[in-house]
Amino acid sequence: MPHPSSPTSPPRPLRLARLLLPFGLLLLVSLLVLHGRPPGTRPGQSGTDPAKLFLSLSPGANASIAADLRALTSGPHLAGTAGAAGVSAHVLSRFRAAGLRTLTREYAPLLSYRAHASLALLAADWSLLAHLSTDEPADPGRRVVRPYHAYAPSGAAVAEAVFVNLGREEDLVALDRLGVSLRGRVAVAVRGGGYRGGVVARAAGRGAVAVLIAGRADGGVERGTALLGGPGDPLTPGWAATDGAERLGFDHEAVRRRFPTIPSMPVSADTASVIVRSLGGPALPPEWRAELGLEGHAGGIGPGPTLVNFTYQEDRKMATIKDIFAVIKGREEPDRYVILGNHRDAWTYGAVDPNSGTAALLNVARRLGIMLQSGWTPRRTIILCSWDAEEFGMIGSTEWVEENLGDLQSKAVAYLNVDCAVQGMGLFAGSTPQLDKLLIDVTRQVKDPDVEGKTVHDTWSTMNGGINIERLARTDSDFAPFLHHAGIPCVDLYYGKEFPGYHTALDSYIWMENHGDPLFLRHLASK
């Protein structure tokens, strides 16, 4: 019999209800964009505003979202692996069950996997001090893909180590002031210094031969890509990675500059701590000790006297990925598109990243299907998108945008994105300026999921000392190709500023069930 909190335990639907809100907001935005004026009376609608009709379909939504999230997170489903097929089939079947027209599009990009890794701590005379784990303590059964950095090159090093704190430019400058060089050494960093690919590139620029990035004290180890230079398949920059597409060689400058030049790997906090505690050299700054939980440790930042023996072997291969679409044709302007998107591939179970958004997207599809049966149709065409291979660098969405760039530039009204829909408390919103007012107006119409009697706008403003809408200059989710390649207005929404289990085995249905939305459970219970 499974443990009550195992991934196979029965769902508790009310705990997941807040997943509805980010995509509820998105759909409200899309409906307002689609209907610049109140819709005329149509069969089955009795003149009902479409946004209100959508929100009126809440009964049963909690159970539907819980069931979908449980199914989506029943096992790991990294893009290009066997586990991805079941999640793909689930999304496709749910779109079809809603009565929506479905389409799929396959691409064949270059993906990157871990083939082998080893790590050991040696004495100065090269005698073995300890074999070090390259596994994740939070995944003792090795159910998910073992920690690695996608596109990190194969390599080996036996070298002194230097602790670089978070690996930021200011940390490397501090090492310079202390007279500590990274040349020919292994840099040991703690996660938190920005994009991991940037941490690796900065260390490589100072002459490091390899980089290890430590996870958190909770046992999680953060996987992720280390690819540089923007989203999309690295071998087809600017055009889609279809089966017959031209591909650049690895020696092409446009390809070379996208790949890290030295190997890197994420490791557990325990593994990194063993290395750092063995180091001599200048004393650790007090604030650096806290980053790795080394309070009271009187050691140094290196280099030496110990050595790190690090080997990493990458498995690069062309893999098939699949984007899935549901299309609702507009009645007045069918060649104008409002696009809602979320990726479904995950480094581990993906309860937060990205399947909190996927479960909500599927519920949007369910509601739209019911609305269609009532006689409603949108003014413009709605396209629901389930992207693949986002975790490797927004590949699924980028390849589709590249393949359809002309049509999207001339026909797309807006792209509405959700990735980690629910990862904590508080709304965080980003948009292009064209959609600011619309986003603000919508939040005034939606009840806050955690504070009784308040709207999302009320608590959003209170938390931030006013309304704060981020400008989407970053390129870390699927809005990136729509905005930066095609110039389409975009919105990106999520709840919670940071999730400690990001890209780790802790991103599970268990976490969402037990911790993801306790306040909204009470909110619903009071109704």
Residues taking part in catalysis: 390
The amino acid at residue 124 is: A
* 483 neighbors 490 (Cβ within 8 angstroms): yes
Burial group, residue 464, by CB count within 10 angstroms (0-12, 13-18, 19+) = middle
Residue 267 and residue 119 in contact, taking contact as beta carbons nearer than 8 Å: yes
For 132, the enclosing helix (H) or strand (E) is: strand 128-132
Encode 60-80: b = buried (16+ Cβ within 10 Å), e = exposed. Answer: ebbebbbbbbbbbbbebbbbb
The terminus-to-terminus CA distance of the chain in angstroms comes to 35
Q: Is the peptide bond before 305 cis (omega within 30 degrees of 0)?
A: yes
Please give the distance of CA 353 from its chain centroid, rounded to a whole number: 5
Copy the structure tokens of residue 457. Answer: 């706008």
Residue closest to 224 by CA, chosen among 390, 338, 28: 390
Tell which residue, 232, 234, 253, 248, has the closest CA to residue 484: 232
Which residues on adjacent β-strands are paired with residue 312? Answer: 117, 155
H-assigned helices in 99-232: 169-177, 196-205
- Give the C-alpha separation, 365 to 361, whole Å: 6
| CB-CB contact of 317 with 113 (8 Å) | yes
CB 491 within 8 A of CB 416: yes
Kindly list the distances between the CA atom of residue 11 and the CA atoms of 20, 162, 296, 513, in Å, as whole numbers in the listed order.
16, 46, 44, 7
